[in-house]
Structure 1
Amino acid sequence: MRKYITFIGLLACFVTSAQNINDVLRYSSENLQGSARFQAMGGAFGSLGGDLSALNINPAGSAVFNNGLFSISGTNYSRNTDSDYNGTLNNSKNNNFDINQVGGAFVFKSTDPDSKWRKLSLAVNYDVVQNFDDRITTSGRSNEAIDNYFLDFADGISVEPLRLQGNETIGEAYLDIGATNGLGFNGQQAFLGFQAGIIDPEADDDTSYFSNANYQTVDQDFRQTISGYNSKFTVNAATQYGDNFYFGASLNFHTIQYDRLNRYDESLTDTDTQELRTVAFDNLLVTEGTGFSLSLGAIAKVNDVIRVGASYQSPTWYRLTDNFSQGIDSNYPNKESSFNFFDLNYINIFDYQIKTPGKVTGSIAAVFGKSGLLSIDYGYQDMSNAELRPTSDSGFADENQFISESLAAVSSIRIGGEYRIQRVSLRAGYRYEQSPYESGNIVGDLNGISGGLGYNFGRSRLDLAVNRTEQDVLQYFFDTGINTPALLNNVNTNVTIGYTLNF
Structure 2
Amino acid sequence: MKKLFLFIGALSMSFLNAQDITDALRYSQQDIIGTARFRGMSGAFGALGGDLSALQINPAGSAVFLSSYGSITLSSTTINNDASYNDDRFLNGFNNSSSSNFNFNQLGAVFIYDHYDEESSGINKLSLGLTYDQTADNADEFFTFGQSRNSIDSYFLTEAQGIPLDLISRRPGETPSELYAFLGETEGYSAQQAFLGHEAFVIEADDLDNPDNTTYFSNIAPGVFDQEYFYESTGLNGKFTLNLGAQINRDFYIGFNLNSHFINYDKVTEFFEGNNNPGSNVNEVLFTNRLSANGAGFSGQIGAIAKVSQMLRLGVSYESPTWYYIEEETIQRIETISDTDGRAVVNPDVVNIFPEYNLRTPESYTGSAAILFGQNGLISLDYTYKDYTAIELSSDFANSFTSVNSDIDNNLQGVSIIRIGSEWRNGNWSFRGGYSYEESPYKNELILGDKNGFSIGAGYSFEQFRFDVAYDYTEQERLERFFPNSGFNNFAFVDTYRDTLTFTLGMVF
TM range (shorter): over 0.9
- Tell me, yes or no, if the aligned pair for 2:12 and 2:349 is still in contact at 8 Å: no
Superposed counterparts of 1:435-446, under 5 Å:
435-446=440-451
Equivalence for 2:194? 190
3-state SS of the aligned residue for 2:346? coil
Q: How many residues are paired up? A: 491
| 1:206 corresponds to 2:213 | yes
Alpha-carbon distance in 1 for matches of 2:11, 2:448: 36
Q: 2:240 aligns with which of 233, 240, 251?
A: 233
- The amino acid of 2:191's aligned partner reads G
Deviation readout 1:287-327 (Å, 9 max, x if unpaired): 11211111010111111111111111000011111111101
- Tell me, yes or no, if the aligned pair for 1:138 and 1:486 is still in contact at 8 Å: yes
3-state SS of the aligned residue for 1:269? coil
Superposed counterparts of 1:5-404, under 5 Å:
5-7=13-15, 11=16, 14-15=17-18, 19-85=19-85, 86=87, 87-114=92-119, 115-179=121-185, 182-203=186-207, 206-272=213-279, 277-332=283-338, 340-342=345-347, 344-390=349-395, 393=398, 395-404=400-409
3-state SS of the aligned residue for 2:31? coil
Give the CA deviation at 1:329: 1.1
Describe the shift of the 1:3–1:349 C-alpha distance in structure 2 as closer, same or farther (beyond 3 A). farther
Alpha-carbon distance in 2 for matches of 1:251, 1:306: 28
Deviation readout 1:345-397 (Å, 9 max, x if unpaired): 44434311111011111111111110000000000110011011128845411
Alpha-carbon distance in 1 for matches of 2:349, 2:55: 41
- The amino acid of 1:133's aligned partner reads A
- Tell me, yes or no, if the aligned pair for 1:269 and 1:276 is still in contact at 8 Å: no
| 1:420 corresponds to 2:420 | no
Judge which range, 71-80 or 392-401, deviates more: 392-401
Alpha-carbon distance in 1 for matches of 2:72, 2:348: 41
Equivalence for 1:454? 459
Give the CA deviation at 1:98: 1.1
3-state SS of the aligned residue for 1:207? coil
Can you give the 5+ residue segments of structure 1 that lack an aligned partner in the other structure? Answer: none
Deviation readout 1:122-161 (Å, 9 max, x if unpaired): 0111111101112211111111111010011112211110
Alpha-carbon distance in 2 for matches of 1:183, 1:2: 16
Give the CA deviation at 1:202: 1.8
Give the CA deviation at 1:497: 0.8
Alpha-carbon distance in 2 for matches of 1:306, 1:230: 35
Give the CA deviation at 1:166: 3.6
Can you give the 5+ residue segments of structure 2 that lack an aligned partner in the other structure? Answer: 1-8
TM, length-normalised to structure 1: 0.94
Give the CA deviation at 1:91: 0.8
Describe the shift of the 1:143–1:67 C-alpha distance in structure 2 as closer, same or farther (beyond 3 A). same
Alpha-carbon distance in 2 for matches of 1:390, 1:408: 23
CA RMSD of aligned residues (A): 1.8
3-state SS of the aligned residue for 1:270? coil
Describe the shift of the 1:334–1:351 C-alpha distance in structure 2 as closer, same or farther (beyond 3 A). farther
3-state SS of the aligned residue for 1:216? coil
3-state SS of the aligned residue for 2:110? strand
